[in-house]
Amino acid sequence: RSEKRTQKALEGKMGIRFILMVNKQGQTRLAQYYEWLTLEQRRALEGEIVRKCLARNDQQCSFVEHRNYKIVYRRYASLFFMVGVDDDENELAILEFIHLLVETMDKHFGNVCELDIMFHLEKAHFMLEEMVMNGCIVETSKANILSPIQLMDKAH
């Protein structure tokens, strides 16, 4: 019985399964997956999701169901933030998480834009690392998230 439960736990329950940042043209600007997909699967998945989300208008809700994912997305200026989660994840909380992510990046880059992320891809990833591990939220305080990053910047 316990084996069965484990199996069930392994199947889903990842929490956050991927985070994408995509521009208006549908080009991926940052992609972080917390489960393994091959390159082809990623390309296909990103293409499908981007097509679905970009076709929606502002009045529509921020959730799209796709395959066995639920995509929670939010648009900030020219950049779409998309988070793929399991079916039983709290969608509203993920929406709040996206906002936290954007605020954190704003705090670091000062009104973050597509180019900031492109030219500082590693830094964006380091921030994500401080916020999410293995699909779970690690830290919700912007100061705590940014302090190791700023410390390293100073050291350089």
Partner 1 sequence: MNSIFSGTRLRDMIRSIRACKTAAEERGVVRKECADIRASINENDPHDRHRNLAKLMFIHMLGYPTHFGQMECLKLIASPGFPEKRIGYLGLMLLLDERQEVLMLVTNSLKQDLNHTNQYVVGLALCALGNICSAEMARDLAPEVERLIQFRDPNIRKKAALCSTRIVRKVPDLAENFINAASSLLKEKHHGVLITGVQLCYELCTINDEALEYFRKKCTEGLIKTLRDITNSAYQPEYDVAGITDPFLHIRLLKLLRVLGHGDADASDLMTDILAQVATKTESNKNAGNAVLYECVETIMAIEDTSSLRVLAINILGRFLSNRDNNIRYVALNMLMKAIAFDDQAVQRHRVTILECVKDPDASIRKRALELVSLLVNENNVKQLTKELIDYLEISDEDFKEDLSAKICSIVEKFSPEKIWYIDQMLKVLSEAGKLVKDDVWHALIVVISNASELHGYTVRALYKAVLTYSEQETLVRVAIWCIGEYGDLLVNNVGMLGIEDPITVTESDAVDVVEDAITRHNSDMTTKAMALVALLKLSSRFPSISERIKDIIVKQKGSLLLEMQQRAIEFNSIVDRHKNIRSSLVERMPVLDEATFNVRRAGSLPASVSTMAKPSVSIPNGVAAAPLVDLLDLGSDDIMAAPSSSGADFLQDLLGVDLGSSSAQSGASPGPKAGADLLMDILSIGTPSPAQNNTSSVDLLSTAGINNNPSNALDTLSSPAPPHIATSASAGGMFDLLDGLSPSPSKEATNGPAYPPIVAYESSTLKIEFTFSKPSGNPQETNVQATFINLSPDTFTDFIFQAAVPKFLQLHLDPASSNTLPASGNITQNLRVTNSQHGKKSLVMRMRIGYKLNGKDVLEEGQINNFPRGL
Q: Is 90 in the site for partner 1 (CB under 8 A)?
A: yes
Q: Is 150 in the site for partner 1 (CB under 8 A)?
A: no
Residue 83 class from Cβ within 10 Å (0-12 exposed, 13-18 middle, 19+ buried)? buried
Q: Is 154 in the site for partner 1 (CB under 8 A)?
A: no
Strand 136-137 to strand 16-23: parallel, antiparallel, or no bridges (unpaired)?
unpaired
Q: Two tokens at 45?
A: 């998945």
Q: Kindly tell me which residue out of 50, 108, 142, 146 binds partner 1, with binding defined by CB under 8 A.
A: 142
Q: Is 156 in the site for partner 1 (CB under 8 A)?
A: yes
Distance CA 130, CA 140 (A): 9
**Which residues are CB-contacts of 46 (< 8 A; sequence separation ≥ 6)?**
20, 22, 28, 31
Q: Is 25 in the site for partner 1 (CB under 8 A)?
A: no
Distance CA 32, CA 101 (A): 13
Q: Kindly tell me which residue out of 68, 78, 111, 141 binds partner 1, with binding defined by CB under 8 A.
A: 141
Binding-site string for partner 1 from residue 70 to residue 89, where x marks contact by CB under 8 A and - marks none: --------------------
Cα–chain-centroid distance for residue 78?
16
Binding-site ranges for partner 1 (CB under 8 A): 2, 5-6, 8-10, 13, 28-32, 34, 36, 39, 42-43, 46, 56, 59-65, 90-93, 95-97, 100, 118-119, 121-122, 125-126, 129, 133-134, 136-144, 148, 151-152, 155-156
